[in-house]
């Protein structure tokens, strides 16, 4: 009932109402979006980021409010899933229906909005037509759980704070903690162990002794872990797959806006990087998602933000290994919102997602 009332107010409100609706929806959903600046001695940026994000969504909702016809508003809200301000796609309106009786596909969400528009526009008993559209948006079948991998997979759960993660003084302890996770998984007879994004907070391919150690251990268990990868002058956020003594590397495809790349014209990006990131360059990306075969099963690789992007679900992969480092944004609702998005894409593409996260979010979604 709440979701029906909410969209009724949005489809029937004036421009001012829609502006403030967009503003406060963005505030409640995305107040955490600038939290990473805490770790760059730039906490003053956080309220600025919050205000700008709220303003952008307020203006987008206001523009919808310009059109008084509810049927036009239906089309515009449907289009929200295709509009990503500054390449950020975490506002998906139909996400609000994930735990309801209604479906989350585009056509079901469209029928849901259409039913409300019909109720607003039609007079007298003709409003009953709206009920037909509403019934069409209901998800009548209970989704069956997807079949899991035949492999016994260990997803590590860590709580490493971001303010120490990259400290040189923590490096040896961090490496040992990761090795202990691998030893534990071997002892418990797992076939695959997954450690989170940037679990090894270093350029792993520049650490030959550690690489050889992991290759050796991979003869007992497949090791999947996050770390940086460097190639000449280019840096990547990557996943390392150690399988039977060999290693393959899957580089990230879609970067986090303002975290790994500046989604602004290049000359502005250079200024932002100089001010806030000590002149660091944006990470580089792979051209396409990486699929890795592990003893007969294919897994799609995804790192953090890109696990919630449509591009990573091309051809509906059966299994996905996703890893995150949520320490950038905790404490906040970010891990909860991330999990909802993963559930949304899992249901939409029939993909089992093995999500391993530092500081909240480790789970299997199926």
> Do 66 and 173 lie in a common domain?
no
Both tokens assigned to 194: 């997954």
User: In this structure, what are the phi and psi dihedrals at residue 207, rounded to the nearest 5 degrees?
Assistant: -120, 80
> Do 244 and 303 lie in a common domain?
yes
> Do 111 and 169 lie in a common domain?
no
Identify the three-state secondary structure at position 283. coil
* pLDDT at 1 (0 to 100): 67
**At which of 84, 103, 136 does a domain end?**
136
Q: Give the C-alpha separation, 286 to 236, whole Å.
A: 9
142 belongs to a structural domain: no
H runs (alpha helix) in the chain: 2-12, 15-30, 45-65, 70-78, 106-121, 128-136, 162-165, 171-187, 208-217, 266-276, 334-349
125 belongs to a structural domain: yes
147 belongs to a structural domain: no
* CATH code assigned at 321: 3.60.110.10
* pLDDT at 104 (0 to 100): 87
Beta bridge partners of 224: 194, 241
* pLDDT at 218 (0 to 100): 98
63 belongs to a structural domain: yes
Both tokens assigned to 322: 């996703």
171 belongs to a structural domain: yes
- Cα 269 to its chain centre, rounded Å, is 23
Residuewise pLDDT in 10s, the chain (366 residues): 688 899 999 999 999 999 999 999 999 999 999 898 898 888 998 999 999 999 999 999 999 999 999 999 999 988 877 777 767 888 998 898 898 889 888 899 999 999 999 999 998 888 888 999 999 999 888 778 899 999 999 999 999 999 999 999 999 999 999 999 999 999 999 999 999 999 999 999 999 999 999 999 999 999 999 999 999 889 999 999 999 999 999 999 998 876 676 556 565 656 555 555 555 567 899 999 999 999 999 999 999 999 999 999 999 999 999 999 999 999 999 999 999 999 999 999 999 999 999 999 999 999
Structural domain that includes position 123: 2-136
> Do 250 and 317 lie in a common domain?
yes
> Do 131 and 234 lie in a common domain?
no
> Do 10 and 94 lie in a common domain?
yes
Catalytic residue numbers, as ranges: 197, 252, 304
Burial of 250 (0-12, 13-18, 19+ CB in 10 A): buried
> Do 167 and 279 lie in a common domain?
yes
> Do 160 and 223 lie in a common domain?
yes
Choose among 113, 170, 119: nearest CA to 137: 113
| CA 49, 55, 61, 67 torsion-angle sign | negative
Beta bridge partners of 363: 355
- Cα 145 to its chain centre, rounded Å, is 21
143 belongs to a structural domain: no
- Cα 297 to its chain centre, rounded Å, is 24
> Do 116 and 232 lie in a common domain?
no
Helix axes 2-12, 70-78, angle to 10 degrees: 120
148 belongs to a structural domain: no
> Do 114 and 215 lie in a common domain?
no
195 near 226, Cβ under 8 Å? yes
* pLDDT at 273 (0 to 100): 53
**At which of 136, 167, 197 does a domain end?**
136
> Do 57 and 131 lie in a common domain?
yes
> Do 35 and 71 lie in a common domain?
yes
Structurally, the chain folds into a number of domains equal to 2
Looking at the whole model, is its pTM more than 0.85? yes
83 belongs to a structural domain: yes
Helix axes 208-217, 171-187, angle to 10 degrees: 10
């Amino acid at each position: 009932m709440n979701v029906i009332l909410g969209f009724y107010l949005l489809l029937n409100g004036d421009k001012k109402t829609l502006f403030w609706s967009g503003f406060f929806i963005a505030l409640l959903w995305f107040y955490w979006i600038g939290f990473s600046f805490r770790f760059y001695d730039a906490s003053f940026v956080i309220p600025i980021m919050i205000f700008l994000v709220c303003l952008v969504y307020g203006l987008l909702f206001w523009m919808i409010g310009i059109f008084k016809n509810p049927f036009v508003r239906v089309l515009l809200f449907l289009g929200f899933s295709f509009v990503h301000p500054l390449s950020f796609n975490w506002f998906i309106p139909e996400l609000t229906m994930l735990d309801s009786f209604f479906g989350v596909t585009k056509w079901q969400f469209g029928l849901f909005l259409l039913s409300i528009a019909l109720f607003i526009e039609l007079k007298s008993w003709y409003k009953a037509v709206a009920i037909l559209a509403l019934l069409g948006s209901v998800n009548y079948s209970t989704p069956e759980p997807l079949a899991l991998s035949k492999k016994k997979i260990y997803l590590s759960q860590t709580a490493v704070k971001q303010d120490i993660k990259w400290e040189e003084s923590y490096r040896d302890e961090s490496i040992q903690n990761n090795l202990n996770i691998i030893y534990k998984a071997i002892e418990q007879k797992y076939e695959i162990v997954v450690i989170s994004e940037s679990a090894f907070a270093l350029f792993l391919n520049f650490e030959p002794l550690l690489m050889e150690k992991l290759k050796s251990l991979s003869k007992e268990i497949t090791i999947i872990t996050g770390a940086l990868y460097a190639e000449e002058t280019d840096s990547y956020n990557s996943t390392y797959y150690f399988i039977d003594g060999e290693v393959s590397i899957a580089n990230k495809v879609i970067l986090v806006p303002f975290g790994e790349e500046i989604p602004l014209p290049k000359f502005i990006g250079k200024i932002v990087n100089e001010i806030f990131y000590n002149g660091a360059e944006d990470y580089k990306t792979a051209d396409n998602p990486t699929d890795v075969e592990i003893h007969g099963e294919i897994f799609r690789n995804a790192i953090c933000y890109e696990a919630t992007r449509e591009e990573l679900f091309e051809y509906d992969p059966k299994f996905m290994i996703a890893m995150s480092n949520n320490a950038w944004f905790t404490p906040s609702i970010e891990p909860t919102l991330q999990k909802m998005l993963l559930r949304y894409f899992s249901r939409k593409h029939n993909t089992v997602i093995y999500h391993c996260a530092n500081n909240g979010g480790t789970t299997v979604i199926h």
